[in-house]
Amino acid sequence: MTAVAEAPAQKVGEVASFTVTMRVMRYLPDENGDAVPRWDEFQVESHGTDRVLDALHKIKWEQDGSLTFRRSCAHGVCGSDAMRINGRNRLACKTLLKDLDPSKPITVEPIKGLPVVKDLVVDMEPFFASYREIMPFLITTGNEPTKERLQSAAQRERFDDTTKCILCAACTSSCPVFWTDGQYFGPAAIVNAHRFIFDSRDEGGAQRLEILNDKEGVWRCRTTFNCTEACPRGIEVTKAIQEVKRAMITRAF
Ligand code: SF4
Ligand code: F3S
Ligand code: FES
């Protein structure tokens, strides 16, 4: 009988591990609210599929429980973990360490333009105040309808892109105009205004355009495109802003 060579045992699910240096900006205000931000370095044992969020969890759970950051869904849906990673706004839960060249230190900072509360947590209230101002809800007049408000596929397509926003603030906090004084409405508020202005069922478009015709509104945009590059949902943010500007001039929407 001929002997049959056995195939080498296959190790299922094995991925390379490596050690990555995480440089994390720390900010721990004292009783007077004063503090000087500093960089802390951590060595983190990681695996091939680990994300920046996994590395931050390992630091918090195994090395320094005081490290503070926001996260919830861990799957790119809730928008709570936008941070500046290697100098670019990204979601920590959608950024793989291996895509960042883990042979070099990976820097993690809070997003810019909003007050830092602690470590990577910023005060989102100014961001949400602008969001609330553009009235992010369907506005209709008259009696309640007796049947469904129908919409054609083409009408739905008109604002499809801007429905994808998860309010992570990666766009607004990457905008140099917003950095100057924090007064500009910012791309996220305009994206969410766009979502309703171009919805055929909505009747509040003129009001929203009036709100954004403010000195802190759409005309402050300098078409820098940082917002479009930063958006983790791939929304064409600058294009949406241009469409709102055009609607303001033509009143066609
Ligand atoms: Fe985030 Fe994109 Fe929405 Fe801006 S437009 S808040 S980057 S999802
Ligand atoms: Fe700012 Fe985006 Fe305009 S980065 S300047 S809102 S194109
Ligand atoms: Fe929800 Fe990253 S934790 S988007």
The pTM assigned to this predicted structure is: 0.91
Q: For residue range 199-228, list pLDDT tens digits in order.
A: 999 999 999 999 999 999 999 999 999 999
Q: What is the CATH number of domain 17-122?
A: 3.10.20.30
- Phi and psi (nearest 5°) for 33? 80, 5
Q: Contact 177/224 with Cβ under 8 angstroms?
A: yes
pLDDT score, position 144: 82
Q: Contact 208/217 with Cβ under 8 angstroms?
A: no
Residue given tokens 């241009």 in the structure block: 242
| DSSP reduced 3-state for 246 | helix
CB atoms within 10 A of CB 14: 9
Q: Where are the domains of the chain?
A: 17-122, 125-139+155-252
- Report the CATH fold assignment for 125-139+155-252: Fumarate Reductase Iron-sulfur Protein; Chain B, domain 2 (1.10.1060)
* Residue list, ligand 2 pocket, CB within 6 Å: 175, 177, 187, 221-227, 237-238, 241
Amino acid 205 reads G
Q: For residue range 110-155, list pLDDT tens digits in order.
A: 999 999 999 999 999 999 999 999 999 999 988 888 888 999 999 9
Residue nearest to atom 3 of ligand 1 (CA): 165
Q: Measured between alpha carbons, how far is residue 16 from residues 45, 50, 88, 91, 197 in Å?
A: 11, 11, 26, 23, 49
pLDDT band at 7 (very low <50, low <70, confident <90, very high): very low
Distance 153 CA to ligand 2 centre (A): 29
Q: What is the mean pLDDT of the chain?
A: 92
- Whether the pLDDT of residue 88 is over 60: the answer is yes
Distance 8 CA to ligand 3 centre (A): 40
| DSSP reduced 3-state for 19 | strand
